[in-house]
Structure 1
Amino acid sequence: MPYHVDSHLEIEVKTTVPDDAHKFRMELKNALPMMGVRQDKADMDARYAALEGLVEKLKDPQERRWRAEVLDVRAHVTITCTNKLANGQSFTNLQASLMSGGEGQRFTAFILASALAYQLGIVSQGFSTYGTVMMDEAFVKSSLSFAEASINALHEFGFQLLLAAPEDKVDLSRFLGSVTEILRDDAANRSGTLERVPVGSSGGSRAVDILLR
């Protein structure tokens, strides 16, 4: 999927799990019971003691540095992003924080969409694959420009979007193909699709039951 008209992004991921983190994972795995294996009391007691020891170490204020090393997975992986142009030039170590506002938002949204497409297998199955992304409170804390960049990037990767958001927080209607308004009727204590009342009638609009067809 082109990042710009004449370029694409190449993402390289390297796992760099520290020795302490690897040891912690093995101890945790060994302490957890194996599925489908019958255990006697001695085995369960041993596993419980091992788990208790790990929990106590995680709670120990003196082990704060060790806890951060084994739990902070951001330090366990190195991700390098390169923008490769059609003319052979490339720009490595791209970071959204070093870009302009709009470019950084486009970059972040594009990475999000590409990661989702990769994890769901859309890249291997083809971009015609049915893939619906449903988001509640969608982009309510984002700027409109970031919301637009994210929606456009998800569309580019072939996702169909079903977004729900309060209109007084963010207006996404300009970026979507269709919009259904939901209104809460406090008097009837129910919510439903918005029904416009004809001009001249009392009241402006009210909620009606949602009918699934």
Structure 2
Amino acid sequence: MLAEFDAAVTQATRQLRADRQSATERIDRSRKALLDTFSTFLERWPNPNLGIDADASYRDFDRLLTDLETSGLHELETEWRDSLLKLSGNDLTGLDSELAAAVREIRDRIDPVNRILAELPFADDNHRLRIDPQESHSTVRARFRKELREVRAFIDQAATDHERERAYHRMAKVVDRIRRTAPDFADLVDVRNHVRISAEKRDLGGRHVAVYDHIGEKSGGESQELVAFIVGAALRYQLGDAGADRPRYAPVFLDEALIKADAHFTGRAIGAWRGLGFQLVIGAPNDKHSAIEPHVDAEYLILKNSQGRSWAKPLVGVPDA
């Protein structure tokens, strides 16, 4: 019996030592976990009144946890995070819609300009000029627009904290690409880069004759006529009132313009400006205004005396003083 008792005591002693060792290790791991938790907390939210010692600071952190749970801050944080994701996702969806709408708006604003141009002879009485906007397709932009839609769908489907965290990081990457400092900003966001504009020459039946996307091979007169049509149309577009009879601001000052063409080209160029509703004031050197003269209502010669004073002398269409 005594031998069995001694064996039982020895076994119990061994088990007690093992349990004590295990408990000590668990305590050490718990202290380490508390130390890491307290340290991480204070790194994010510094507080000179809190320490990181597991034994000395435990009660302080326990009171802080109780206060946070009582105030429901963690629930407010979750609601805030979910709201942030939802609102940001809505913004990304809105961006995709606004990009598409902006391209449509460019076409819509060019339509009334084309209605004006349809009444103005171009090159001769049997042809007209039409501004043709075409959306320029880009693989990079297409992928970006697709990513906008996918991120929005991913946000809607995120149900757990882990999924919401992933959604946030995907959204952050998309937002980084549209910051003004991002290398892709102009290509992705500036819709002026999404549309390619060309000018199409048509006959009176609306049949295609030629496309102008540069003027390199044109003569001086042809290029001036084309420029007059394009620049005038662009001004009506920029003013945003091409549907009105007159532009909101009609005077246009041209310095040494229309001086490289004969009277035929010059007349059509001036007719284009007038047809678009503008009032022209053209400045030209004294020896290069002959082609302009037949097409203006009034002509003034600017003179200058030896004292440096200048004045305008009326020549055409204005009674002599």
Task: Describe the SS at the equivalent of 1:189.
Answer: coil
Aligned residue type for 2:261: L
Provide Cα deviations, 1:43-93, integer angstroms capped at 9, x if missing partner: xxxxxxx6xxx8xx9xxxxxxxx9xx99xx997642233333333532352
Provide Cα deviations, 1:95-116, integer angstroms capped at 9, x if missing partner: 5445666545433322222222
Check 1:160–1:26 CA distance in 2 against 1; reply closer, same or farther (3 A cut). same
Q: Which runs of 5+ in 1 are unaligned?
A: 29-49, 58-65, 197-213
Aligned residue type for 1:163: I
TM-score (norm 1): 0.51
Structure with bigger strand share is 1
Q: Distance in 2 between matches of 1:128 and 1:195?
A: 28
Name the counterpart of 1:89. Answer: 207
1:107 lines up with 2:259 in the alignment: no
1:159 lines up with 2:311 in the alignment: no
Identity of aligned residues (%): 26
The match for 1:78 among 193, 196, 200 is 196
Q: Distance in 2 between matches of 1:194 and 1:2?
A: 33
1:190 lines up with 2:300 in the alignment: no
Task: Describe the SS at the equivalent of 2:235.
Answer: helix
Q: Distance in 2 between matches of 1:16 and 1:102?
A: 31
Q: Which runs of 5+ in 2 are unaligned?
A: 1-118, 145-174, 316-321
Name the counterpart of 1:47. Answer: none
The match for 1:143 among 260, 263, 279 is 260
Check 1:25–1:178 CA distance in 2 against 1; reply closer, same or farther (3 A cut). farther
Q: Distance in 1 between matches of 2:276 and 2:256?
A: 18
Q: CA deviation at 1:7?
A: 4.2
- The answer to whether the 8 A contact 1:80-1:92 is kept is no
- The answer to whether the 8 A contact 2:132-2:198 is kept is yes
Check 1:127–1:24 CA distance in 2 against 1; reply closer, same or farther (3 A cut). farther
Check 1:17–1:184 CA distance in 2 against 1; reply closer, same or farther (3 A cut). farther
The match for 1:10 among 130, 141, 150 is 130
Name the counterpart of 1:173. Answer: 293
How many residues align? The count is 154
Q: CA deviation at 1:185?
A: 1.0
Q: CA RMSD in A?
A: 4.2
